[in-house]
Every structure is written in structure tokens, then in C-alpha cells.
A and B are shown apart, each in its own frame.
Chain A
Amino acid sequence: MTGGPIALRVNGVERRASDVPASERLLDTLRWRFDLKGTKEGCRTGGCGACTVLVDGESTLSCLTLTHEVDGRAVATIEAGGESPTMERVRAAFVAEGALQCGYCTPGFVVALTGLLEERGRAASRDEMLEALAGNLCRCTGYAAIGRAVERLRAEAP
């Protein structure tokens, strides 16, 4: 097949597209078909984490994911908002600690950490949280404040 229809549940909403090329990446589907520009393109080779989204709750590099490969599945992006209380909690911690500078990498960090917290719940240790972020690059090198956001999330673990 050279292309075809896909259906995704994106941030709780059914989204469809009729003629998605076989080689299209989830990153491009989200940004250009569904106008969800919060997910960023960085390196496009899986090395920076800027494009991280959740697929069925698991952090996933959307630049390395063919849209057709995740047809029918649930995708969460930084725009999930109130659909994801965990993401709201992570976002609030980043805001409280000023854990961003230019902001380009921030959606990837927030989504990756959300995925880990949803996967591990209260059991998530500080090391696991930092490991979950180890694939995300911040070119402003604002890692210290991101580390503080992790500490804050640990301290307020529900």
C-alpha cells in the first residue's frame, strides 16, 4: 500500500485522515494534518527527544514512528491538557521551577516524564525519572531547573 486512511484517538478526540502516505511520520501527521504544533521536530533521527508523544501511554519518538504503524491507537501530546491529570501535574512543576528557557524542548521533556509517571506511578524513583529524560536534549542546557522540577514532583508524589 502506498497510503491510506488512518484513525487515531489524539488527546481523547477521534481524528481521521483519508490519504496518509505509507512513509508519513506520526510527527508530521500531528503537526500538519491535525495542527498540533506543540510536538516539535528536532533532529528527526531519534537523538533529541523533542518529538516525544505518548502512544497508548508509552513515550514514543514520533519522528521515528510511521503513522500507519500506530493506526487505531491512543496518542497523547503536550496539548492533552486536562485529558491527562499527570501531564498537568508535570507541567505545573515545570512552571513552578521555571524549568524552561527557549521552550523548544519543553514539550518533549513534559511528555516523556508524564509517560514514566503513568507507567510507574508512585513507585517512580528519582533515578528512573531522570533516566526517562536522558534522551531529551535541552540546547539551552537548562537541566538544573528541570532537575528541580523532578525533585518537586518527587516531593509532592500523590
Chain B
Amino acid sequence: MVEFDLVAPRSADEAFAALRAAAPDGAAVLAGGTDLLPDVDEGRQRPRVVVSLRHLPWRTLDWAGPSLTIGSTLPLRALEQDPDLVRRFPGLAEAIRDVGSVALRHRATLGGNVVRAAPTSDLVPVLLALDAEVEIVGPRGTRRLPVDRFVRASRRVDLGPEELVRAVWFPEARPSAYRWQRVRPANDISQVAVAAACSPADRRWRIAVGGVAPRPVRIPSAAEALGAGAPTAAAVARAARAAADAVAFPTDRRASADYRRHLVATLVERVVDAVVRAEGFPR
């Protein structure tokens, strides 16, 4: 067993102090632990001190008009079981249900998923399609960053050594969907995944693709090809081609680049179809 110390601060200030004391590279932050602990066991990460967020009051779900703020340490299972969230953010709910298993989601968190920034994250693509922002707290105050800028690369985010993600903010409820291809539906990693959303405010689309190295990306050319509101079949076909052409797909043990390029076009068609049929789609 890999040994480390564990601290569970009672406030954000105590957490910053604990992170400072373990600086620069000695600390790891524990939310659900479902991604961190396997990394520690397998030696990919060797923290001297693990700072647990379990006592911080961040297990929250706050609605304000069309927007939603999800506290970073609320378990994913609580999110997928919230009827309002399922109705108003269908793509987010779908993506959450595609993470690991029910038992894993009883502990795994949205904050942990975005901070750990696995290139294969099932949640980052839908956060991109929903224009989500992370709320970051640190000893020098609070700042906000779009997820698109927060996630820099595989396993790399724009977060200082003493900073923590307190919440993820969504500007508006959007008809949205998430579709993927995997070898096994549960407890597996997507070969390719596509998230799409259409804003009721400006009727514009957002498309993001996961399963691409080094991080999930938006595909503006595919979104533009769809136009505003309900797209024609020809527009969907153009968007599918745009997505296949826009990304440099990797070849790895899960799938070849060619197969991924083939999949992404099909998934774009399916995900757009699901969004058009979602409640509140702007006609």
C-alpha cells in the first residue's frame, strides 16, 4: 500500500493552508477519489499529503433562473437523480449516467472529473457544449474560467497549487444530448463521444467531441454547419463531415484513427437528432 498523510480541512482557508504546507508537488486533492486513488496505487501520482474536501459545504445544486451551479463535491449519482436536472440538462444527465457504474457515481464528483481532466472524460465534452465555467477559489480570491480554457491538455488544467474548484456553473438550460461508442456500455471508456446542445436564447448549436487526444474539443465548423434551430438533413450531413475532418483522431489500443473518424460522423447525426427531439428545443 502506498502511504500518505490525510487531512480533512473544515473550511476553504484551512484547505488552502494545507495545500501550501504540502507545496509544491506534495499534495493531492481528494473529492470522490475514484480517479486519484488508482493513480496513487499504480504510482502515477505520489502525494505526500492528500487533502480531502469531504467537510467543505460544496455538495450543492443551485438554480437561478435559467442557470445552474453545481457544487464540485456533489456526487454524480445525486445529479442524475435530480428530476429538474434531467429535464433541463438532458445531455449532462446522459453523460453522467455514462460514467463508470452506479457504485462509482455514488462517490465520483463533477468537480473531480473536470479537475482530473482525463482525455477520455465523459463529462468534459458536454460541459463544452453547455458553455460551462468553473468557479475557482484560492487564497487570493475567486475567479471564473470557461471549461474550454480551464482544461489545457491531457491531465492538465489551469489551477494554481493552492486553488480549488468550488463549483461548475452553467449559463442556461439547453436541449442537449450525449452519444458515444464503446466496447462495453458500462464501466468502459468511449472510443469517441459527441455532445451537442442548442441554445434556446440564440438558437445556435455547440458540438464537442471526446475520445480525442489530448483533450475533448469543440468543433465550431460542425456547429456552424447546423445553422440556427432545426437543421435540414443536408446540414446535418455537412456537420458530420465537418466533425470528421476537423479533428486529428488518435490511433491507440481502443480504436484506430480511421474508425474514430467513421464513428464521429454517425454520432454527430445521432446526437443532433436527439437534441432536436429534446424538450424545449427552439423551433
Chain A residues within CB distance 8 Å of chain B: 1-2, 21-25, 28, 44-47, 49, 52, 55, 58-61, 64-66, 68-69, 112, 115-116, 131-132, 134-137
Contacts and interface: CB of A to CB of B under 8 A. Distances in A.
Nearest to A134: B186
A21 B3 contact: yes
Contacts of A55: 106
B206 interface: no
B83 to A, nearest CB: 13
Interface in B102-119: 102-104, 106-107
The main secondary structure of chain A at its interface with chain B is mixed
Given A23-B50, A25-B37, A134-B101, 8 more contacts: A23-B4, A24-B1, A59-B102, A60-B103, A60-B106, A61-B34, A61-B104, A135-B187
B5 A59 contact: no
Contact of B102 (A23, A25, A112, A137): A112
B221 interface: no
Interface residues of B, number: 31
A28 B50 CA distance: 19
Contacts, number: 94
B137 to A, nearest CB: 21
Nearest to B186: A134
Contacts of A137: 187
Contacts of B54: 69
Given A46-B34, A64-B33, A64-B38, A135 B5 contact: no
B274 interface: no
27 contacts: A1-B7, A22-B3, A22-B4, A22-B5, A22-B6, A22-B50, A23-B1, A23-B4, A23-B6, A23-B40, A25-B1, A45-B42, A46-B100, A46-B104, A55-B106, A64-B104, A64-B107, A66-B6, A69-B52, A116-B102, A131-B102, A132-B102, A134-B101, A135-B102, A135-B104, A135-B186, A137-B187
